[in-house]
Amino acid sequence: MLRLTRGTTVAFGIVVGIVLLFMYAPLFLVIINSFNVAPIANWPISGFTFDWWVRAFQNEALWAAVQNSVIVATGAMIIALVLGTLAAFALQRFEFFGKHTVNLLIVLPIALPGVVTGVAFSNSFNNVLEPAGIQVGYFGMIIAHATFCIVMVFNNVFARLRRMNPSMQEASMDLGASLWQTFRLVTFPQFRTAFVAGGLLAFALSFDEIVVTIFTAPAGVDTLPLWMFNQMARPNEATQVNVIATVLILLSFIPVYISQRLTRAEEEER
Amino acid sequence: MSAPTAPTEPVPTEPAPTDSGSATPSRDTAADTAASSSERGQGGVELHAVTKRFGETVAVDDLTLSVESGEFFSMLGPSGSGKTTVLRLIAGFEEVTSGSIEIAGTDVTRAAPFDRTVNTVFQDYALFPHMTIADNVAYGLRVRKVSKAEQKERVAAALEQVRLSHVADRLPHQLSGGQRQRIALARALILQPRVLLLDEPLGALDKQLREQMQIELKQIQREVGITFIFVTHDQEEALTLSDRIAVFNNGRVEQVGTPREVYEYPQTGFVAGFLGISNLIDAGHAERLTGVAKAISVRPERVRLMDARTEPATHETCVDGTIVETVYTGPTTRYIVDTVDGLRVIAERHNDHAPSDTAPYHRGDAVRAVWVTEHAAVVP
């Protein structure tokens, strides 16, 4: 174990304190301001009220945005889970011509700036597909999100498959299991945690996506991030953003909790 | 081990015999044939002209092999000699490039692993880490939709057989290496296969545990009476366990025979060198020594050392040289002797003298290495 002098320990403590303060003070400010009487965030708050919470929960536009976000994120996640897992299997288990290129093409969208992805999809949807009579509408947004969500699932599942002992599958078949039984009883349980973690990441990535969404959302459709972004421009409504932000902060504990439990279960199994 | 009566004339020179009715029948073979003849065809494995290529590499080269029902058959060879590939071909994990495979009289050349009446014990055991030991052992029954009650009963019996009933509810990672090995065995045997394939199953265990497991394996094989095909690179393990051994090299079988046959009458220089230590004397030197221009192999334990002035008996062959190294191994001491005409002979001597005495010969001593002429096996 590395030994530190008392001075170093104190210095590190201070640095950690400052970093945590910068990370969490703004979040704290958001939570407090959701109860602020004043319509614009300030410090210290002018007075305490549940007024904004009530108004936020009665705001139909907000609920519509939440619904849109959940649908889009769920859709993108499902596409990502299916295609990402299939791609991971194909690239991990088989040798074929152009394998490395395919690998690169799958991973590329996550590195591509959102602006580029957005412009590209917007152009294809509005200038190519629409004149051809194909209305992608809502579904276009889901596909645009899925392109970079796939990477999350792909990377997780691929890494897990690589660590998996190939003789497990052989043992299963040797004991009489069909291909499907082997997948269901042996293979899937072993990459399930990677599958779930990849899915959670994909969902989260899509849920808070704003750049690509701006370019691909059909007219009149707001996702939650789009709605919040637009609200900020209206001074009298800004505090409702703090309310929904507070809710999101609390909700984000869920995936963090799940992923930590999965990791722990995993470590116990090793 | 007492020396068998070796033929005075060269041992048959035809290629390595591939069945137990080989050219040099010994007591072992006779016993083996008697034991298995009653159930012949029940669990025999036949390979006909099997070739397996991986790209440019030929892993198995035109192999014809016949494993008798109920025998403990070892495939011995260095890594990369093709023995594991042959096992995987029999199990169905790999498909033959050409040739055919028959298990228990049925052609399985193109059959999937789950359609073959063989089960495998893997080198790394391949237990399913997310299932309890009981679930691991029950797996084969579960995928065959055997009733829950029967599953329970047979799992209990299988765990009983390997004396591990108390670990039924644990996970594989909570078991020791030896326990995992036995569970892998129980999981494979629960399906009552006709043939059990074992891929270096003892390789990961330490020496003492390995020797204990060897005895256990042999006992289980006798109990269940099925064919065991055992892959190993450990010649001692193969000699200890097997009814017959196939010695592999470069994708080919160099020799098949009982442990005694392959050890005492190696048919090739490779076999002589791979099983134990051998003094392989090439045809040229052999001609000068014995008058017959055929390579011979003589085991170090059959070579005696004596004073350079002592005359050998008429039925003995001798070479003169200098001890260049002595190796103390505990029960024996090995003397490495170099002769003037470039021959190296190793003599092994039991340390049967008083523990406090040092060895009778030392490095630098001029000695005469002697063996009974007919104790040397002719290597065709």
Which of the residues B88, B119, B122, B143 would you substitute to probe the A interface, choosing the one with the greatest number of A C-beta atoms within 10 Å? B143
Cβ(A235)–Cβ(A40) under 8 Å? yes
pLDDT at A148: 92
Q: Which residues contact B168 (CB under 8 A, 6 or more apart)?
A: B132, B133, B134, B155, B156, B159
Which residues 129-188 of chain A have a CB within 8 Å of chain B?
165, 167-168, 170-178, 181, 185-186
Q: Strand order in B279-281's β-sheet? A: B279-281, B296-298, B377-378
| Distance of residue B192 Cα from the nearest chain A Cα, in angstroms | 11
Count of structural domains within chain A: 1
Q: Kindly report the CA angle at B323 between B322 and B326, in degrees rounded to 5?
A: 175
Residue B1 reports pLDDT greater than 80: no
Whether the pLDDT of residue B20 is over 80: the answer is no
Query: How does pLDDT run across A124-167, given as a tens digit for each residue?
Result: 998 888 888 888 888 999 999 999 999 999 999 999 999 888 88
Q: Using alpha carbons, list the distances in angstroms from residue A82 to A77, A88, A183.
A: 9, 10, 15
pLDDT in tens, A96-121: 899 999 999 999 988 889 899 999 99
Q: Tell me, what's the pLDDT at A264?
A: 77
Q: Summarize pLDDT for B212-228 with one digit per residue, the tens.
A: 889 989 999 998 899 99
What CATH number corresponds to the domain at position A115?
A: 1.10.3720.10
- HEC assignment per residue over chain B: CCCCCCCCCCCCCCCCCCCCCCCCCCHHHHHHHHHHHCCCCCCCEEEEEEEEEECCEEEEEEEEEEECCCCEEEEECCCCCCHHHHHHHHHCCCCCCEEEEEECCEECCCCCHHHCCEEEECCCCCCCCCCCHHHHHHHHHHHCCCCHHHHHHHHHHHHHHCCCHHHCCCCHHHCCHHHHHHHHHHHHHCCCCCEEEEECCCCCCCHHHHHHHHHHHHHHHHHHCCEEEEEECCHHHHHHHCCEEEEEECCEEEEEECHHHHHHCCCCHHHHHHCCCCEEECHHHHHHHHCCCCCEEECHHHCEEEECCCCCCCCEEEEEEEEEEEEECCCEEEEEEEECCCCEEEEEEECCCCCCCCCCCCCCCEEEEEEEHHHCEECC
What average pLDDT is seen over chain A? 89
* pLDDT for the residue numbered A268: 65
Q: Tell me if B129 and A269 make a contact (CB, 8 A cut-off).
A: yes
Calculate mean pLDDT across residues B189-194.
92
Say if residue B242's pLDDT is above 60: yes
Q: Is B62 left (phi over 0), alpha (psi -120 to 50) or beta?
A: left
Domain range holding A174? Answer: 50-269
A217-231 pLDDT, tens digit each: 888 888 999 998 888
| Maximum pairwise Cα distance, chain A | 72
ipTM: 0.77
pLDDT band for position B67 (50/70/90)? very high
pLDDT exceeds 70 at position B251: yes
Q: What is the pLDDT of residues B107-143, one digit of tens each?
A: 999 999 999 999 999 998 999 999 999 999 999 999 9
Side-chain-side CA neighbours of residue B116 (13 Å): 33
Q: What's the pLDDT tens digit per position in B311-335?
A: 888 888 889 999 999 999 889 999 9
Which CATH code fits B281-378? 2.40.50.140
Of residues B13 and A33, more confidently modeled: A33
The pLDDT of residue B2 is 42
In a domain, A181, yes or no: yes
Mean pLDDT over residues B248-254, rounded? Answer: 93
Mutation site for B-interface testing, chosen from A174, A178, A190 by largest number of B Cβ within 10 Å:
A174
Cα Rg, chain B, nearest whole Å: 24
At A75 the pLDDT is: 96
The rounded percent of chain B whose pLDDT value lies above 70 is 89
pLDDT reported for residue B277: 86
Nearest-CA distance A204 → chain B (Å): 28
Residue type, A118: G
Identify the pLDDT of residue A241: 86
Long-range contacts of B257-263 (CB under 8 A, 24+ apart): B257/B16, B257/B17, B257/B22, B257/B24, B257/B29, B258/B20, B258/B26, B258/B28, B258/B29, B258/B32, B259/B28, B260/B4, B260/B26, B260/B28, B261/B22, B261/B24, B261/B26, B261/B28, B261/B29, B263/B239, B263/B299
Decide if pLDDT at B183 tops 90.
yes
Name the β-bridge partners of B337: B323, B345
Inform me whether the pLDDT recorded for B252 exceeds 70. yes
Q: Would the pLDDT of A262 be above 90?
A: no
Token pair in block for residue A269: 């199994």
Of the pLDDT bands very low, low, confident and very high (cuts 50, 70, 90), residue A270 is: low
Write the pLDDT tens digit of every residue in A165-203. 888 999 999 999 999 999 999 999 999 989 998 999 899
Half-sphere exposure of B42 (CA within 13 A, CB side): 17
Q: Give chain A positions within 8 Å (CB) of B129.
A: 190, 269-270
CB A67 within 8 A of CB A86: no
Mean pLDDT of B144-167: 93
A8 lies in a domain? Answer: no
Give the residue extent of every domain in chain B: 3-117+193-274, 281-378
Q: What is the mean pLDDT of chain B?
A: 86
Is the pLDDT confidence value at B22 over 80? no
Residue A40 lies in a domain: no
Q: What is the pLDDT of residue B3?
A: 42
Higher pLDDT, A82 or A197: A82
Q: Residue B89's pLDDT is what?
A: 95
Strands B98-103 and B45-54: antiparallel
Domain at B3-117+193-274: CATH code: 3.40.50.300
The confidence score (pLDDT) of residue B12 equals 42
pLDDT at residue B8 greater than cutoff 60: no
Q: How confident is the model at residue A47 (pLDDT cuts 50, 70, 90)?
A: confident
pLDDT at B248 over 60: yes
Q: Which whole number is the average pLDDT over A37-42?
A: 76
Set of chain B residues whose Cβ sits within 8 Å of the Cβ of A173: 92-93, 112-114
Indicate whether A214 belongs to any domain. yes
Q: Answer yes or no: is pLDDT of B4 > 70.
A: no
Task: Give me the residue from B92, B113, B124 closest to A165, CB to CB.
Answer: B124
What one-character DSSP code corresponds to residue A35? Answer: T
Nearest-by-Cβ selection for A181 from B126, B127, B143: B143
As a whole number of angstroms, the distance between CA B181 and CA B202 comes to 8
If you average pLDDT over residues A49-62, what whole number do you get?
86
Which residues, 6+ apart, have CB-to-CB distance to B143 below 8 Å? A172, A175, A176, A177, A178, A181, A185
Which candidate from A167, A174, A190 shows the least CB-CB separation from B124? A167
> For residue A221, what pLDDT is reported?
87
Q: Is residue A229 part of a domain?
A: yes
Distance CA A245, CA A258 (A): 21
Shortest distance between the Cα of B277 and any Cα of chain A, in A, equals 35
pLDDT greater at residue A221 or residue B1: A221
Helices (H), A164-252: 166-174, 179-182, 188-207, 211-216, 224-232, 238-251
Task: Identify the pLDDT of residue A169.
Answer: 92
For residue B296, the cross-strand partners are B281, B378
Residue in B with minimal Cα distance to A166: B126
Statement: residue B28 has pLDDT above 60: no
For chain B, how long is the longest CA-to-CA vector? 80
Domain membership of residue A23 (yes or no) is no
Work out the angle at residue A75's Cα, subtended by the Cα atoms of residues A100 and A53, and round it to the nearest 5 degrees: 130
> What pLDDT is attached to residue A269?
59
pLDDT of residue A44: 80
Please state the rounded mean pLDDT for residues B287-307: 88
Percentage, residues of chain B above pLDDT 90: 59
Confirm if A89 and A81 have CB atoms less than 8 A apart. no
For residue B29, pLDDT over 50 is answered with no
